[in-house]
Amino acid sequence: MMRYIQRLADKDIGLTNSMIPLGSCTLKLNSAIEMIPVTFDGFAGIHPFAPKDQVKGYLELIKELSDCLVAVTHYDCISLQPNSGANGEYAGLMAIKKYHESRGDFNRDVCLIPISAHGTNPASAALCNMKIVVVDCDADGNIDVEDLRKKAIQHKDRLSAFMITYPSTHGVFESKVKEMCDIIHTHGGQVYMDGANLNAQMGLTAPGFIGADVGHLNLHKTFSIPHGGGGPGVGPIGVKKHLEPFMPGHPILPVEGREALTVASAPYGSAGILPIPYAYIKMMGKEGLLASSQHAILSANYLAKELEGSYKILYKGENEKVAHEFILDMRDFKKTADVTEADIAKRLMDYGFHAPTVSFPVVGGLMIEPTESEDKIEMDRFVDALKRIREEIREIEEGKADKEDNVIKNSPHTLQHVICDKWTHSYSREKAAYPAPWIHVRGKVFPTTGRIDNVYGDRNLICTCPPVSDFL
């Protein structure tokens, strides 16, 4: 079993092998010391409905973690019940909805959402039976404040909420964020702040300080719980005092006396993995959390500065800086070399890197986020890889490489591919598999599968199971 699990692990790429620069996803290091307590029987072996007098240690951990998250966010109260960021969005929007109803405002059902938002934002608003009104962005990727003002006035009698991500999904600190919050509050609405980018806020600012009334926190992003793989996740919400009565409760084990508005089957959600963010926050401390945000922003700006001569940075703030992530615009390469952002992402695999986020939030872009986990040496390798790929594109543009049979269009190259007896390509095996000298020293994880047709695979169910007759 151990060998089987290790073989599976060897096929995949992780932070043990490579930088994972997934913009918007915040793939930071999950240290072993944070992960170990999850295996303790006192945390792992407790039933979620165990009587409270049998789980005093758990309740102490929950209280301390909640207090820490209040200090970081400047909200007044935290609910750890939601099982994911999307679940947290639903819980937060329902709190807003019930707040309005408690005041007799049953007609407040309009949710303003910027066009740059995460896709979960409109999905969650629709789930809460809200009417979605889209707010435009300007040419620099910022929310169009005048369009927001116009739509807030237009819908002032029905305005329920405004959903915003800060820094924005475009990787920019929007300087008018407090003005936008004031506009919403002036017209009777509540501000929901998507916590996806809290990793750029810790110790520098906070949702409650900016003007948000409620928002979720992605503990798998900012606070180092492992990300992906189907869970378990934690997406708690923080609220200001006036929304506290509408936080999630539980009918079997009431939370702070609340029994209604349950959004997960257990009163404290995925409590078994709360030791991870608890350990992360306690070991980092106030200064460490501030340093993590500072390093994340510094790293992103370092990469952006190093790459801007080879690639176009799509959005920057008023001071010509990015936040903790940024977007490279790859759309011109489609015209000049028939190379897409997906081609570049696949070619990065040949250099031993996980791809950045592809075509989100801008189709044709690559969104890069180094986080604070990466050192300068690794980031320099990443920069070198992307610069070399730019030169490979230039070879196609100048006719030095075939438009179809080239290292980019044929990437990624598997180990089986490069060591086979037959090699018919117009470029060398070394250029395919070891395109930079540092790969020989650093090593890399070879992809086990070559080029696939993504769109066809998305649209067609292909069964790879053996027929039943094989088991007779």
Range of the domain at 348: 330-453
Whether residue 227 lies inside any domain: the answer is: yes
Q: Helices 145-154 and 177-186, interaxial angle, to 10°? A: 10
Q: Pick the last residue of a domain from 262, 281, 300.
A: 281
On the question of pLDDT at 444 being above 90, the answer is yes
Q: Is residue 458 part of a domain?
A: no
Tokens standing for residue 250: 């539980």
The yes-or-no verdict on residue 229 having pLDDT over 70 is no
Are residues 337 and 265 part of one domain?
Answer: no
Quick check: is 294 in a domain?
no
**CATH number where 338 lies:** 3.90.1150
Whether 139 is in a domain gets the answer yes
* Each residue's pLDDT tens digit, 2-28: 999 999 888 888 888 999 999 988 888
Q: In the Cβ-directed half-sphere of 171, how many Cα atoms lie within 13 Å?
A: 34
- Provide, rounded to the nearest whole percent, the portion of the chain with pLDDT above 90: 84
Q: Examine the domain organization and report whether 392 and 274 are in the same domain.
A: no
Mean pLDDT of 416-430: 95
Query: Do 171 and 44 belong together in one domain?
Result: yes
- Same domain as 135, residue 39: yes
pLDDT at 441 over 70: yes
Position 324 in a domain: no
342 and 429 inside one domain: yes
Residues 276 and 372 in one domain: no
Within 10 angstroms of residue 14's Cβ, the number of other Cβ atoms is: 13
Residues 270, 349, single domain; the answer is: no
Does some domain include residue 320? Answer: no
Residue 299 domain-assigned (yes or no) = no
Distance CA 89, CA 122 (A): 10
* Confidence label for 228 from pLDDT (cuts 50, 70 and 90): low
pLDDT at 467: 78
Q: What is the dihedral of CA 173, 174, 179, 181, to 10 degrees?
A: -70
Instruction: Give the model confidence (pLDDT) of 83-108 as tens digits.
Output: 988 999 999 999 999 999 999 999 99
How high is the pLDDT of residue 25? 87
Tell me the pLDDT band of 168, cut-offs 50, 70 and 90: very high
In angstroms, the CA 306 to CA 380 distance is 9
pLDDT tens per residue across span 274-303: 999 999 999 999 999 999 999 999 999 999
What local confidence, expressed as pLDDT, does residue 454 receive? Answer: 81
What are the DSSP calls for 188-215, one per residue?
T-EEEEEGGGGGGTTTT--HHHHT-SEE
What angle separates helix 85-102 from helix 120-127, to the nearest 10 degrees?
40
Q: What is the mean pLDDT of the chain?
A: 94
- CATH number, domain containing residue 86: 3.40.640.10
How does residue 141 score in pLDDT terms, banded at 50, 70 and 90? confident
What are the CA-CA distances from residue 299 to residues 291, 302, 401 (Å)?
12, 5, 34
* Per-residue pLDDT at 231: 63
> What digits encode the pLDDT tens for the residues 183-210?
999 999 999 999 999 999 999 999 999 9
pLDDT-based confidence at residue 472 (cuts at 50, 70, 90): confident
Q: What's the CA angle centered on 71, arms 66 and 76, to 5 degrees?
A: 70
Final residue of a structural domain among 281, 299, 316: 281
81 pLDDT exceeds 70? yes
pLDDT at residue 230, as a whole number: 56
Same domain, 243 and 335: no
CB 418 within 8 A of CB 433: yes
Tally of domains within the chain: 2
C-alpha distances (whole Å) from 261 to each of 101, 210, 274 are 14, 27, 22
Answer yes or no: do 259 and 343 share one domain: no
Contact call for residues 352 and 445 (beta carbons, < 8 A)? yes
Q: Residue 374 has what pLDDT?
A: 95
As a whole number of Å, the end-to-end CA separation of the chain is 25
Residue at token pair 């435009």? 136
Say if residue 96 is exposed, middle or buried (CB neighbours under 10 Å; 0-12, 13-18, 19+).
buried
Residues 232 and 353 in one domain: no
Q: Do 233 and 374 have their domain in common? A: no
Residue 264 lies in a domain: yes
Distance, in Å, from the CA atom of 110 to the CA atom of 125, rounded to the nearest integer, reads 9
Q: What is the pLDDT of residues 364-405, one digit of tens each?
A: 999 999 999 999 999 999 999 999 999 999 999 999 999 999
Of 281, 314, 341, which residue sits at a domain end?
A: 281
Does residue 170 share a domain with residue 37?
yes
Mean pLDDT of 226-248: 87
User: Is residue 407 over pLDDT 90?
Assistant: yes
